Amino acid sequence: MDKKYLYRTMRFILVIGSVVLALLSFYYLSKVTYPFLIALVIAFFINPIVNAFEKKLRMPRGLAVFVALIIIFALAVGLVTLLVAEIVSGANYLARVVPEHLDTLIGYIEEYITAQIIPLYNQLTSMFNQLEDGQQNTIISNIQNVGATIGSTVGTFIQNLFGNIPVILSWFPNAATVLIFSLLATFFISKDWQRFSQLGNKILPEKAKTSGKTVFIDLQKALFGFLKAQLTLISITTVIILIGLLVLRVDYAITIALITGMVDIIPYLGTGAVFVPWIIYEIIAGDMGLAVGLGVLYLLVLVQRQVMEPKILSSNIGLDPLATLIALFVGFKLIGFLGLIVGPVALVIISTLYRANVFHDLWAFIKGKED
């Protein structure tokens, strides 16, 4: 084999091996260092706020970080408190209304059993009695097998559910510990951000510093743009739902719209987790007008989300709408619901690395110097 191609193959293997080793190292190290990775991400996002406090309000860096963390923590607690208050208010309303609707539902089930199930049961019993003994035994055996399978499945589910309760309870102290470590690490990382930046500039070579700076700036813009896009989509959904519920004259329209807008964060399910059960119930309860209205509103929200999501994401993170749509679909197919978030983020990272000429530099390294 020609030495030139041999060296290129070796350099290609070296690049692939380095990338795989770096990814594996990050994966295993992140299991024990994730509080500090969370702190790094938080420090990354609050850095513009801290810089503004430091420069415009002339605060010491440490005080600026402390004030920024207090404000963010207070906003988070305030939003959670507001959400809990709204949920409690809605729960009190449901406690008054649900018993009446439950009586209606039970009455409907009783009528359905009387009109449909009992005649069908009598018909099946008559047909069963006309069968031969062997056929009857086969049917009984199959029914018993189905019953045993259902019983085993339900039993396993209940066993796993109660078995996971200690795990869930043990998660709370761990979560509190992670939160404390993350907040403390965020304070120290953000306070010494400039020192860490200067240390990186001394260690890294000039080429890596130039590419790294480009990647850092583009990622910062893209990630902030991604968050802005998600908040925009959720806000649009909430407003549309609120207007629709007000038109339909639904009680507690603001509370329901806020909760449904928050549920819209859940990938794939989204608002369907609220609308689908609600529509089914209204059909059973006999309120077809409200069921049709909710169905139209849900369809409008779905169409709006599918049409606006690629456009808003692409305009906020600087990607082509078609590429964003492909990233959403591929991410969903590869890793499920989480892929709807991971897909666009991965596309942002790849696009950023491309604009920083990282792929070009790697290819130049693999090719080597031309003879």
Tokens at residue 284, please?
Answer: 């059973």
* 20-34, 81-95, 249-263: the lowest-pLDDT one: 81-95
CB atoms within 10 A of CB 289: 10
Tell whether the model's pLDDT for residue 42 goes beyond 80.
yes
Cα–Cα nearest to 257, from 276, 275, 239, 233: 239
- What is the C-alpha separation between 53 and 49, in angstroms, rounded? 6
Q: What is the pLDDT of residue 56?
A: 85
The mean predicted confidence, pLDDT, of the chain is 77
Contact, 216 vs 349, CB < 8 A? no
Residue 205 vs residue 305, higher pLDDT: 305
Q: What is the pLDDT of residue 17?
A: 87
Give the pLDDT band (50/70/90) at residue 267.
Answer: low
* 111-115, 191-195, 328-332: the lowest-pLDDT one: 111-115
The answer to whether the predicted template modeling score (pTM) of the entire model surpasses 0.85 is no
- What is the C-alpha separation between 340 and 268, in angstroms, rounded? 8
Tell whether the model's pLDDT for residue 161 goes beyond 80.
no
- Mind listing the pLDDT tens digit for each residue in 268-308? 567 777 788 888 877 877 778 888 888 898 898 888 877 77
Q: What is the pLDDT of residue 59?
A: 84
- Mind listing the pLDDT tens digit for each residue in 88-144? 776 676 667 666 666 676 777 777 777 777 777 777 777 767 767 777 677 777 777
Cα–Cα nearest to 347, from 228, 266, 226, 231: 226
- What is the C-alpha separation between 342 and 323, in angstroms, rounded? 14
Contact, 39 vs 185, CB < 8 A? yes
Q: Quick one: DSSP state of residue 24?
A: H
- What is the C-alpha separation between 283 and 290, in angstroms, rounded? 9
